[in-house]
């Protein structure tokens, strides 16, 4: 059927080889070589995802604020201990009735477009957040602001309709970023052309790929930032993140998977920094459903689960257990020890006291794409099986979880992490009122205490009030608290002063050098 294939002349075969060689050479020579490190004043950071917008009043997404931290400033900001310290505001005072907050602004601060910061900018910014047309998801959380008054060019007064202790924390969150009044008036599009007072300006933003930030030479902190350029690459793929860190293409990578830690640690050019996050991970219990209405059943679940093992296996060996619904790093955290120690026998006894000695079947919803929660769910399922509780796991997509599980209460158990808030109000609002929290937990006393905390200005009093509320919540075993997971950030060896602001879950590149 076939004859001989005509022979390729030797010359053309050589030509082929030469072409391939030239092509490979050209690719390799096309700078900058992928494996080599970027220049010393250019910092490349790999983040799991990108911002949805660069308008600080248009989003509630953590990833967006991680980027916007470098573009904008707030009146106050949290220090490493979570304490609020001056930023654009030099100092502030509160009227005796707690309703009027007066901020003295720092002088000599400039926006990226050259305008100097004054009280009018603060007024315009807060009014922008409160304006329904802005559609800020944080419109209600900025607080019950009645008016914002310009006292003099560098003094601004915020008058509240009712006492609201969390106002200072609200102003320190990423969504409290101050924008220039002149551009607000001109309806400037901050979502793609951000203008703030931050340490960097926007160089280039390729959506879903990378963002390049350039040093703002007029930044108000003298000598800062030290880097000329920060490139944040959005890398969803775990294997790519770790490969880029090891090869040196990335100077730092966010949130390394615990399973990748041994590989990263084995490399002498890589350093891992471990930090507790401000998350609280929990096994949420639907308090309104059948057997789960019984506090004995809920306590049995605590005793049945080896919380320490779940936390360390699923979320990383450096995670820390906690028995209250507050992150371990918060000044409002209280140490209750281990109120319901891991004890399967006791769990079985409690279940049979409650009338479920012969077993119990519960639904366990696990949110996709959060693999650690799914891993934790599998461990929990096995532990519950040992005390006669059959957990039927179902993995659900995030949007589904938010709508049906979180919003609709269609679940018995679910595993989730609650992000950190600067002020305990942010975490605790609605708890104790079954209609306003997703575990349908009802306790009037807790609800009253949380309200008291909101209107109490004295920090020491507030701490005591919240401690009492947290204790009651754990006594009611309203959910099984696991604790705060650790976050692993990988750095190339020369990187210094890489700061994580764990209290607001963001990164600060102002002092970073490499």
Partner 1 sequence: MPFVARRLLAVAPTVLVVATVTFVALQIIPGDLAEIMLGVDARPEDLARLRRDLGLDRPLVLRYVEWLGHLARGDLGTSVSYREPVSRLIVARLPVTLSVAFSAMLIAVTLALPLGVVAARRAWSPMDLTVLAGSQVGLAIPTFWLGILLLLWLAAATPLFPLQGYVAFRTDPVQWLRHLFLPALALGAERAAALVRLVRAAVLDELHREYVRTARGKGLMDGEVLRRHVLRNALIPVITVAGLQLGYLMGGAIVIEQVFGLPGLGRLLLQGIYARDLLIVQGAVMTIALMFALLNLAVDLVYAAVDPRITYA
Closest CA to 250 of 83, 489, 488: 489
Binding of residue 105 to partner 1 (CB under 8 A): no
- Closest residue by Cα to residue 62 from 138, 124, 119: 138
| Window contacting partner 1 (CB under 8 A); options: 104-112, 159-167, 193-201, 204-212 | 204-212
Residue choice 15, 18, 22, 239 for contact with partner 1 (CB under 8 A): 239
Q: Is 209 in the site for partner 1 (CB under 8 A)?
A: yes
Which residue lies nearer to partner 1 by CB, 70 or 141?
Answer: 141
By the rule CB under 8 A, 400 interacts with partner 1: yes
**Using alpha carbons only, what angle is made at residue 228 by residues 222 and 234, rounded to the nearest 5 degrees?**
120
Asked if residue 270 lies in contact with residue 490, where contact means CB atoms within 8 angstroms, the answer is: yes
State yes or no: residue 110 binds partner 1 (CB under 8 A).
Answer: no
Size of residue set near partner 1 by CB under 8 A? 66
Scanning 93-101, 119-127, 261-269, 422-430 for contacts with partner 1 by CB under 8 A, the matching segment is 422-430
Is 394 a binding residue for partner 1 by CB under 8 A? The answer is no
Q: Based on the shown chain and the rule CB under 8 A, indicate whether residue 406 belongs to the binding site for partner 1.
A: yes
6, 9, 223, 268: which one binds partner 1 (CB under 8 A) = 6
Q: What is the 8-class DSSP label of residue 106? A: P
- What is the rounded CA–CA span in Å between residue 46 and residue 210? 9
* Interface region with partner 1, contact rule CB under 8 A, candidates 85-93, 149-157, 201-209, 474-482: 201-209
Under the binding rule (CB under 8 A), the answer on residue 33 touching partner 1 is: yes
CB 429, min distance to partner 1, A: 7
10 Å CB burial of residue 340 (0-12, 13-18, 19+) is buried
Retrieve residue 82's tokens. Answer: 């979570």
Q: Pairing state of beta strands 200-206 and 155-160?
A: unpaired
Among 1, 11, 81, 266, binds partner 1 (CB under 8 A): 1
**Which are the contacts of 441, defined by CB distance < 8 A and separation ≥ 6?**
287, 431, 432, 434, 473, 476, 478, 479
Task: Scan residues 312-371 and list those touching partner 1 (CB under 8 A).
Answer: none
Rule CB under 8 A: say whether 249 interacts with partner 1. yes
Alpha helices in 181-321 (DSSP H): 181-185, 238-247, 261-265, 295-304, 307-315
Position among 153, 203, 359, 399 found at the interface with partner 1 (CB under 8 A): 399
User: Which parts of 53-72 interact with partner 1 (CB under 8 A)?
Assistant: 53, 55, 58-61
Distance CA 362, CA 291 (A): 9
CB closer to partner 1, 352 vs 419:
419
What Å distances lie between residue 3 and 6, 8, 13, 23, CA to CA? 9, 15, 21, 34
What would the two tokens of residue 257 be?
A: 């998977």
Contact footprint for partner 1 (CB under 8 A):
1-6, 24, 26-28, 30, 33-36, 52-53, 55, 58-61, 132, 135, 137, 139-141, 189, 191-192, 206-210, 233-237, 239-240, 243-244, 246-247, 249, 397-400, 402-404, 406-408, 416, 418-419, 426, 429-430, 435-436
């Amino acid at each position: 059927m076939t004859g001989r294939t005509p022979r390729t002349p030797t010359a053309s075969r050589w030509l082929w080889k030469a072409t391939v060689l030239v092509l490979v050479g050209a690719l390799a020579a096309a700078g900058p070589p992928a494996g080599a490190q970027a220049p010393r004043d250019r910092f490349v950071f790999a983040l799991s995802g990108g911002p949805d917008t660069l308008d600080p009043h248009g989003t509630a997404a953590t990833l967006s604020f991680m980027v916007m931290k470098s573009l904008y400033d707030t009146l106050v900001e949290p220090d490493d201990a979570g304490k609020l310290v001056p930023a654009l505001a030099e100092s502030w005072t509160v009227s005796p009735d707690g309703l009027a907050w007066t901020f003295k602004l720092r002088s000599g601060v400039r926006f990226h477009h050259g305008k100097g910061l004054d009280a009018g900018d603060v007024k315009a910014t807060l009014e922008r957040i409160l304006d329904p047309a802005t559609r800020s998801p944080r419109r209600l959380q900025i607080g019950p602001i009645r008016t914002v008054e310009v006292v003099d060019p560098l003094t601004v007064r915020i008058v509240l309709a009712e006492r609201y202790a969390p106002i200072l924390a609200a102003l320190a969150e990423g969504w409290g970023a101050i924008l220039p009044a002149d551009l607000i008036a001109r309806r400037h599009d901050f979502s793609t052309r951000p203008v703030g007072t931050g340490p960097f300006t926007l160089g280039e933003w390729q959506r879903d790929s990378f963002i390049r930030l350039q040093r703002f030479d007029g930044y108000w902190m003298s000598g800062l930032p030290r880097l000329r350029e920060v490139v944040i690459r959005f890398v969803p793929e775990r294997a790519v993140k770790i490969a880029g860190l090891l090869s040196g293409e990335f100077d730092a990578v966010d949130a390394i998977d615990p399973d990748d830690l041994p590989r990263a640690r084995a490399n002498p050019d890589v350093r891992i920094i471990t930090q507790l996050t401000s998350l609280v991970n929990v096994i949420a219990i639907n308090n309104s459903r059948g057997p789960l209405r019984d506090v004995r059943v809920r306590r049995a679940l605590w005793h049945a689960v080896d919380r320490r093992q779940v936390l360390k296996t699923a979320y990383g060996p450096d995670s820390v257990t906690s028995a209250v619904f507050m992150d371990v790093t918060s000044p409002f955290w209280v140490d209750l020890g281990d109120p319901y120690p891991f004890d399967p026998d006791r769990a079985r006894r409690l279940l049979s006291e409650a009338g479920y000695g012969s077993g119990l079947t519960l639904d366990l919803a696990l949110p996709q794409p959060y693999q650690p929660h799914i891993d934790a769910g599998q461990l929990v399922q096995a532990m519950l099986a040992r005390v006669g509780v059959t957990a039927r796991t179902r993995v659900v997509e995030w949007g589904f979880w938010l709508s049906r599980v979180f919003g609709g209460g269609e679940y018995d158990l679910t595993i989730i992490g609650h992000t950190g808030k600067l002020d305990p109000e942010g975490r605790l609002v609605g708890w104790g009122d079954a209609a306003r929290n997703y575990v349908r937990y009802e306790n009037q006393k807790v609800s009253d205490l949380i309200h008291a905390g909101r209107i109490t200005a004295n920090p020491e009093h507030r701490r005591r009030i919240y401690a009492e509320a947290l204790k009651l919540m754990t006594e009611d075993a309203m959910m099984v608290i696991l604790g705060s997971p650790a976050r692993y950030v990988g750095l190339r060896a020369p990187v210094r002063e890489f700061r994580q602001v764990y209290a607001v879950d963001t990164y600060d590149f102002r002092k970073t050098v490499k």
